[in-house]
Structure 1
Amino acid sequence: MSNLVRFVFQSLDYDNSENQLFLEEERRMSHMGFRCLEIRRWVICGLIGFLTGLIACLIDIAVEELAGYKYSAVKQNIEKFTEFGGLSISLILWAALNSAFVMVGAIAVAFFEPIAAGSGIPQIKCYLNGVKIPCVVRLKTLAIKVFGVICSVAGGLAVGKEGPMIHSGAVVAAGVSQGRSTSLKKDFKIFEYFRRDTEKRDFVSAGAAAGVSAAFGAPVGGVLFSLEEGASFWNQMLTWRIFFASMISTFTLNFFLSIYHGKPGELSSPGLINFGRFDSDVSSVSISFSYSDAYIHRPCLQVMEAMLVAAVTATVAFAMIYFSNDCQPLGQDSTEEYPLQLFCADGEYNSMATAFFNTPERSVRSLFHNPPGSYNPLTLGVFTLVYFVLAVWTYGLTVSAGVFIPSLLIGAAWGRLFGILLSTITSSQSIWADPGKYALIGAAAQLGGIVRMTLSLTVIMVEATGNVTYGFPIMLVLMTAKIVGDYFIEGLYDIHIKLQSVPFLHWDAPPTSHWLTAREVMSSPVTCFNRVERVGRIVDVLSNTSTNHNGFPVVPGKICGLILRSQLIVLLKHKVFVERASSRLSQRRLQLKDFRDAYPRFPPIQSIHVSQDERECMMDLNEFMNPTPYTVPQETSLPRVFKLFRALGLRHLVVVDDENRVVGLVTRKDLARYHLGKDGLEELQLAQT
């Protein structure tokens, strides 16, 4: 069985090219030089944490202010018209404010940077896996992401601001570590040593972890998230640097939010969402989630769709509050931010409004900590079903938004409902007295069933609640959710990656694939160069092969090296030529700095002018090629090829015969073709691009 798929993404090169320039630079560097580089890595991680914390603080304050204005205006309007009629005016006001916020955010995403849509977690996961996603870590993407998520959350959509923090942290890390911004046309040479895919990948891992830490106040959970869900490559020192970035991130957010809330020095806001403290006791459950994707490609229609969803969300929320008769007493110790009396008696508030007439983060906290009796079962049941549908519809919109908080809110609602029903069935109030604890377990189960995280999510929930007692039951329900969920359908992020046809490589090769060999997997024939090659041929090869051809073996018969398209582009740009008649090769000397200056946006071959006379010159590739590329015999099994390719972060793997002559080349797309389907091992047929 085979399917047609179009892989349009290129790979990153996480394997250092150990050519002569690289080795010479290493020899020249003193012990103190290496120590200074390590200090710079720690400084960069500190800056990543600090800036990520500041961005999280900006998002939180902006959402609180805008949402506060919106809910205050609508609340006053509802109270004004409750007795005299005309509540339709309140509905129109609510829907109009929601649509206005969402319209502005959707316009920014749809027209200026579409890659900023969604949470960005699948894209960062792909980047760390070794896939080059265009524009995913650009400063412009960060600006649109931050602006878009503020508008989405303030616009009342069933979304959260925590997921996009992971993408935001990754963009910050990519920019800071490179010391340059093409958008701002700024270039700081202090960090130029780190301008390569390997170093950049490690810092992006730290940025993703810092984003999780800022979102949930969970630095350890951030490190584990980056390890479990993101980074494909790891080492011990990287763990400590990432933990340092995460600590700085949550401290920065905590420090500035404490000042904003008028409690400087108290440090009571470690993350964008704080679950509050829980006492001890517990129980469990699980559920799944459906994926929704918008197949609307025209930006104007995407904006209109987002506005429609915002208006419908406000209308549905208003209708549910209007028809709800769940009235609860409003005591002096009540924590309701915007209590609506509506048709309730004096001294009472509408409980349904607590769930809908609030930011999602505050709604989650109220489900966790409001005392028993704050919600009746019908309210929670209806809210769970309706909010689930809204969240599924919203996830495919062209807006910056995350799925973490909607998932937690849905799970908290049905978890609290489960606790209430259990208490009613057993009629043992002393044992099953606190439904908020079931809300916590339900929230963890719901989120785990959607994103299929286990260890990292357990630690995040434990850190966010401040109670290690819940670690075991949370881990239990997360494992159950993952096992049951994986049996029926892949996780949300995996589905998202597959829909975009990203050549993502999982941890292991598909089972039952040992019978396939490198000869059957590889791409061939392979375009090769000689050690000393004519400039005209190099230009012709680069011009006539697509940009998908990025690695070229160097062969005077047997393989003696591998050179990249990007390296050849730099050599042509700097005219590193030698006359054909010359007996000695005295071409211009380059340094690694020249290659780093061009990274990561190397110019296309069409932009480089080579005269007819220059075409007859020669280019010596010995100094610039990688003389020790990884190779495998053509009889090597697919799992061994996969393990070598995946573990080392390769972009190209050369296949040789018994005499060490090149017979093929294995790339990421060759390996991503194979997967385990319902009928066993399946091969995807690649469409021509």
Structure 2
Amino acid sequence: GGMFHVGSRSTVDLEEEITPEEVKSILLRFVFQSLDYDNSENQLFLEEERRMSHMGFRCLEIRRWVICGLIGFLTGLIACLIDIAVEELAGYKYSAVKQNIEKFTEFGGLSISLILWAALNSAFVMVGAIAVAFFEPIAAGSGIPQIKCYLNGVKIPCVVRLKTLAIKVFGVICSVAGGLAVGKEGPMIHSGAVVAAGVSQGRSTSLKKDFKIFEYFRRDTEKRDFVSAGAAAGVSAAFGAPVGGVLFSLEEGASFWNQMLTWRIFFASMISTFTLNFFLSIYHGKPGELSSPGLINFGLELTLEYIPFESFLFFPYYFPGGMLGALFNVINYWLTIFRIRYIHRPCLQVMEAMLVAAVTATVAFAMIYFSNDCQPLGQDSTEEYPLQLFCADGEYNSMATAFFNTPERSVRSLFHNPPGSYNPLTLGVFTLVYFVLAVWTYGLTVSAGVFIPSLLIGAAWGRLFGILLSTITSSQSIWADPGKYALIGAAAQLGGIVRMTLSLTVIMVEATGNVTYGFPIMLVLMTAKIVGDYFIEGLYDIHIKLQSVPFLHWDAPPTSHWLTAREVMSSPVTCFNRVERVGRIVDVLSNTSTNHNGFPVVAHTTENEEPGKICGLILRSQLIVLLKHKVFVERASSRLSQRRLQLKDFRDAYPRFPPIQSIHVSQDERECMMDLNEFMNPTPYTVPQETSLPRVFKLFRALGLRHLVVVDDENRVVGLVTRKDLARYHLGKDGLEELQLAQT
């Protein structure tokens, strides 16, 4: 039940000229596994539930709320740590470079300032890239595609481990402080998910700690729900948007939802925002003044007024966002393929990241140096690191406001600075240059997000449109304030790249604190999605496909009703009898690849090896635990002598079940028998072999299944449908197409 993935440490020889299709076939060599979101209602499960009292169930529910509170608290603390570290490191860097520039402006030698800036950027990025490339490649990027896949039911190795969290946090601090065209908000979603996965299990293999209080939740079903809460808490901490966080988990990730889960996720999101707000108020020397609900705060609630007439003025934003977003995604798609082919070794990945950091600093320095956009530096100016350069006394270089700052501060400047703070040429050139830098940067082997660069690009061309509008209207007109157009442009650009609609609308509304802008933002995002989807998919979906993850969308491909379960299933199927010989179980587990994880249990097969009638389903992980604990009997009739196990024994081995090669079974034990009746799921989901693909897809996707047994009219097993069988069908330009997936 899996597909394939090539990691950053792959030794595949990609030196020859190959096509994108051949690249994809190379990617299809490494197996992903599916997650078991369907509970196995075997006898052990029923006995445990029967023993549990009403108070026991109430205690479990209380523990769920406690875990969600801890998830929110720890995610908020991590966001606070990232924010403080970035501010301190970036502040040191910009102060040092600013002093150096001021020192050499009058006396010449500005090349020293450029070298210093490029060296500091490259040093920060080098450290972060080394940590990611050599220690945990899965920590690269924002992590949002990986979390979407996890919530969709795909087990990606190491995606929610503590080591990944440590590298992710350290890496994003280095990336942002290194001046790359990245943001620290996207990785918070991955960080929150890792926190949730660790806290909910009550143990860490990295720290060798095990707290039994949460051992009941050691299964994929429970872990999935907490990871949804962690992702939402990450969004909430990033943007100060608790409701947006809940909707993000619903729209972008969760494969299962109910009312109580919604409440718990919202609770985690609120705790996350409050924690970040509280500790940042202490850091800023204003304890109790809760004015920083997220890592980025647009703060537009009092400055931008809006009238319905402006909806018509926002109309030109409806199409450029989708088209520029599609252009961004197309370029990044081909750039990612190039990286897969030629930059697949860790040392090359680190060198590329350092090159981008140095080029970013050089381009920024050149843009600032050659810009003659000078603005007066008033007493109420909010510029953090104003550069005078060749401007007159009392003035600063406006281009430096956009480049000589962290991306978050640059976004706020474009939103807040009064009319006249930028001239059109500055904004036009900045938009073009930063677009190229952002496209080049996303996909580097560093921890970084694309949210803030997208907002910054959109805010720049949005403000440019506002300035052009003010030239044809009265400067006193209410719709001539360029800040509001920067906001709409930012939403359009971000929507065109990531293609989120519902959650992103609410995130933008919560971040601005101005609900009146919800309607135009929604229209812009919907149009950007429609226009962008005409050319290419969203950025996260592109990278999911490039990693060859068997991601299942909400619905089956259109025009697929003529396909039946018989045509999509895998067959023949390896089955076990109710009471099976240990030697055969060991041989089957040893001889089948690790992506064979479910085995139907049937009544005794006939002599001509016809398929038997379905009796249940047992997982590879369950069989591994049974073999490890030697749950054998000497003869099939001696079932009473079989060792008793509890669900606790299976939870103790979760989630890293040992491989079959590590379990020793003697020759005498191979002749023993194993009774599977007590451990198998006696009521697995089955479908007739004539069931259409959309019905199979809907059942598989809605219930979060890993295996779906296909039976004939006599209830005999004829095949097995897994995620791989469904994911290989998609709607192409010529209709329904089938991917030819490599087998293992």
TM over 0.5: yes
Partner residue in 1 for 2:471: 424
The alignment partner of 2:562 has SS state of coil
User: Matches of 1:292 and 1:686 in 2, distance apart?
Assistant: 22
Query: CA 1:569 to 1:332, structure 2 compared with 1: closer, same or farther past 3 Å?
Result: same
Q: CA offsets per residue over residues 371-426 of structure 1, 9 Å max, x none?
A: 00000000000000000000000002100000000000000000000110111134
- Please tell me whether the aligned partners of residues 380 and 417 of structure 1 are also in contact (alpha carbons under 8 angstroms): yes
Query: CA 1:435 to 1:241, structure 2 compared with 1: closer, same or farther past 3 Å?
Result: same
The alignment partner of 2:718 has SS state of strand
Query: CA 1:285 to 1:304, structure 2 compared with 1: closer, same or farther past 3 Å?
Result: closer
The alignment partner of 2:348 has SS state of helix
- Please tell me whether the aligned partners of residues 7 and 501 of structure 1 are also in contact (alpha carbons under 8 angstroms): no
Query: CA 1:640 to 1:4, structure 2 compared with 1: closer, same or farther past 3 Å?
Result: farther
User: Matches of 1:41 and 1:296 in 2, distance apart?
Assistant: 44
Q: CA offsets per residue over residues 407-463 of structure 1, 9 Å max, x none?
A: 000000000001101111345641432100000000011111111111111111111
Cα deviation for residue 294 of structure 1 reads: 8.1
- Please tell me whether the aligned partners of residues 585 and 620 of structure 1 are also in contact (alpha carbons under 8 angstroms): no
- Please tell me whether the aligned partners of residues 278 and 288 of structure 2 are also in contact (alpha carbons under 8 angstroms): yes
Cα deviation for residue 282 of structure 1 reads: 30
- TM-score under structure 2 length normalisation: 0.90
Query: CA 1:283 to 1:161, structure 2 compared with 1: closer, same or farther past 3 Å?
Result: closer
The alignment partner of 1:627 has SS state of coil
Query: CA 1:687 to 1:110, structure 2 compared with 1: closer, same or farther past 3 Å?
Result: same
User: Matches of 1:268 and 1:144 in 2, distance apart?
Assistant: 29
- Please tell me whether the aligned partners of residues 292 and 392 of structure 1 are also in contact (alpha carbons under 8 angstroms): no
Cα deviation for residue 65 of structure 1 reads: 0.1
User: Matches of 1:130 and 1:669 in 2, distance apart?
Assistant: 12
- Please tell me whether the aligned partners of residues 639 and 675 of structure 2 are also in contact (alpha carbons under 8 angstroms): no
The alignment partner of 1:285 has SS state of helix
Cα deviation for residue 509 of structure 1 reads: 0.2
Task: Out of 519-528 and 425-434, give the one that drifted further.
Answer: 425-434
- Please tell me whether the aligned partners of residues 19 and 625 of structure 1 are also in contact (alpha carbons under 8 angstroms): yes
Match among 327, 340, 346 for residue 293 of structure 1: 340
The alignment partner of 2:618 has SS state of strand
- Please tell me whether the aligned partners of residues 277 and 290 of structure 2 are also in contact (alpha carbons under 8 angstroms): yes
Superposed, 1:253-402 pairs within 5 Å as: 253-276=276-299, 295-402=342-449
User: Matches of 2:717 and 2:279 in 1, distance apart?
Assistant: 59
- Please tell me whether the aligned partners of residues 288 and 485 of structure 1 are also in contact (alpha carbons under 8 angstroms): no
- Please tell me whether the aligned partners of residues 287 and 446 of structure 1 are also in contact (alpha carbons under 8 angstroms): no
- Please tell me whether the aligned partners of residues 283 and 438 of structure 1 are also in contact (alpha carbons under 8 angstroms): no
- Please tell me whether the aligned partners of residues 636 and 673 of structure 2 are also in contact (alpha carbons under 8 angstroms): no
The alignment partner of 2:526 has SS state of helix
Query: CA 1:97 to 1:59, structure 2 compared with 1: closer, same or farther past 3 Å?
Result: same
Cα deviation for residue 49 of structure 1 reads: 0.1
Query: CA 1:421 to 1:553, structure 2 compared with 1: closer, same or farther past 3 Å?
Result: same
Cα deviation for residue 464 of structure 1 reads: 0.6
Task: Out of 457-466 and 576-585, give the one that drifted further.
Answer: 576-585
- Please tell me whether the aligned partners of residues 284 and 441 of structure 1 are also in contact (alpha carbons under 8 angstroms): no
Q: CA offsets per residue over residues 41-66 of structure 1, 9 Å max, x none?
A: 00000000000000000000000000
Question: What count of residue pairs does the alignment treat as equivalent?
Answer: 683
User: Matches of 2:144 and 2:107 in 1, distance apart?
Assistant: 48
Query: CA 1:100 to 1:288, structure 2 compared with 1: closer, same or farther past 3 Å?
Result: closer
The alignment partner of 2:548 has SS state of coil
- Please tell me whether the aligned partners of residues 288 and 449 of structure 1 are also in contact (alpha carbons under 8 angstroms): no
- Please tell me whether the aligned partners of residues 556 and 698 of structure 2 are also in contact (alpha carbons under 8 angstroms): yes
User: Matches of 1:137 and 1:356 in 2, distance apart?
Assistant: 34
Partner residue in 1 for 2:731: 676
Query: CA 1:295 to 1:246, structure 2 compared with 1: closer, same or farther past 3 Å?
Result: farther
Q: CA offsets per residue over residues 275-326 of structure 1, 9 Å max, x none?
A: 01xxxx999999999x987851111111111001000000000000000000
User: Matches of 1:163 and 1:71 in 2, distance apart?
Assistant: 24
User: Matches of 1:581 and 1:625 in 2, distance apart?
Assistant: 17
- Please tell me whether the aligned partners of residues 474 and 480 of structure 2 are also in contact (alpha carbons under 8 angstroms): no
User: Matches of 1:49 and 1:460 in 2, distance apart?
Assistant: 18
Task: Out of 227-236 and 362-371, give the one that drifted further.
Answer: 227-236
Q: CA offsets per residue over residues 605-655 of structure 1, 9 Å max, x none?
A: 000000000000000000000000000000000000000000000000000
User: Matches of 1:674 and 1:574 in 2, distance apart?
Assistant: 41
- Please tell me whether the aligned partners of residues 116 and 144 of structure 1 are also in contact (alpha carbons under 8 angstroms): yes
- Please tell me whether the aligned partners of residues 656 and 664 of structure 1 are also in contact (alpha carbons under 8 angstroms): yes
Tell me the C-alpha RMSD between the 2 structures.
Answer: 3.0
The alignment partner of 1:685 has SS state of coil
- Please tell me whether the aligned partners of residues 7 and 502 of structure 1 are also in contact (alpha carbons under 8 angstroms): no
Query: CA 1:428 to 1:80, structure 2 compared with 1: closer, same or farther past 3 Å?
Result: closer
Partner residue in 1 for 2:156: 133
Superposed, 1:41-80 pairs within 5 Å as: 41-80=64-103
Superposed, 1:10-159 pairs within 5 Å as: 10-159=33-182
Cα deviation for residue 687 of structure 1 reads: 1.1
- Please tell me whether the aligned partners of residues 333 and 542 of structure 2 are also in contact (alpha carbons under 8 angstroms): no
Query: CA 1:368 to 1:351, structure 2 compared with 1: closer, same or farther past 3 Å?
Result: same
User: Matches of 2:99 and 2:555 in 1, distance apart?
Assistant: 58
Percent identity at matched positions?
A: 98
Query: CA 1:219 to 1:284, structure 2 compared with 1: closer, same or farther past 3 Å?
Result: farther
- Please tell me whether the aligned partners of residues 18 and 628 of structure 1 are also in contact (alpha carbons under 8 angstroms): yes
Match among 489, 494, 503 for residue 456 of structure 1: 503
- Please tell me whether the aligned partners of residues 27 and 547 of structure 2 are also in contact (alpha carbons under 8 angstroms): no
Match among 190, 197, 212 for residue 213 of structure 2: 190
- Please tell me whether the aligned partners of residues 27 and 548 of structure 2 are also in contact (alpha carbons under 8 angstroms): no
The alignment partner of 1:397 has SS state of coil
Cα deviation for residue 581 of structure 1 reads: 7.0
Query: CA 1:506 to 1:308, structure 2 compared with 1: closer, same or farther past 3 Å?
Result: same
Query: CA 1:270 to 1:292, structure 2 compared with 1: closer, same or farther past 3 Å?
Result: farther
Query: CA 1:286 to 1:240, structure 2 compared with 1: closer, same or farther past 3 Å?
Result: farther
Q: CA offsets per residue over residues 631-686 of structure 1, 9 Å max, x none?
A: 00000000000000000000000000000000000000000010000000000011
User: Matches of 2:103 and 2:94 in 1, distance apart?
Assistant: 14
The alignment partner of 2:710 has SS state of strand
Query: CA 1:365 to 1:282, structure 2 compared with 1: closer, same or farther past 3 Å?
Result: farther
Q: CA offsets per residue over residues 523-558 of structure 1, 9 Å max, x none?
A: 000000000000000000000000010000000921
- Please tell me whether the aligned partners of residues 332 and 439 of structure 2 are also in contact (alpha carbons under 8 angstroms): no
The alignment partner of 2:438 has SS state of helix
The alignment partner of 1:432 has SS state of helix
Partner residue in 2 for 1:612: 667
Give the gaps of 5 or more residues in structure 2: 1-24, 300-328, 603-610
- Please tell me whether the aligned partners of residues 229 and 264 of structure 2 are also in contact (alpha carbons under 8 angstroms): yes
Q: CA offsets per residue over residues 320-351 of structure 1, 9 Å max, x none?
A: 00000000000000000000000000000000
Q: CA offsets per residue over residues 463-515 of structure 1, 9 Å max, x none?
A: 11111110000001000001111111100000000000000000000000000
- Please tell me whether the aligned partners of residues 508 and 639 of structure 1 are also in contact (alpha carbons under 8 angstroms): yes
Q: CA offsets per residue over residues 565-588 of structure 1, 9 Å max, x none?
A: 000000000000000275444200
Task: Out of 551-560 and 454-463, give the one that drifted further.
Answer: 551-560
Give the gaps of 5 or more residues in structure 1: none
Query: CA 1:393 to 1:527, structure 2 compared with 1: closer, same or farther past 3 Å?
Result: same
The alignment partner of 1:682 has SS state of strand
User: Matches of 1:465 and 1:329 in 2, distance apart?
Assistant: 27
User: Matches of 1:112 and 1:288 in 2, distance apart?
Assistant: 21
Q: CA offsets per residue over residues 127-184 of structure 1, 9 Å max, x none?
A: 0000000000000000000000000000000000000000000000000000000000
Query: CA 1:181 to 1:284, structure 2 compared with 1: closer, same or farther past 3 Å?
Result: closer
Cα deviation for residue 126 of structure 1 reads: 0.2
Query: CA 1:369 to 1:288, structure 2 compared with 1: closer, same or farther past 3 Å?
Result: farther
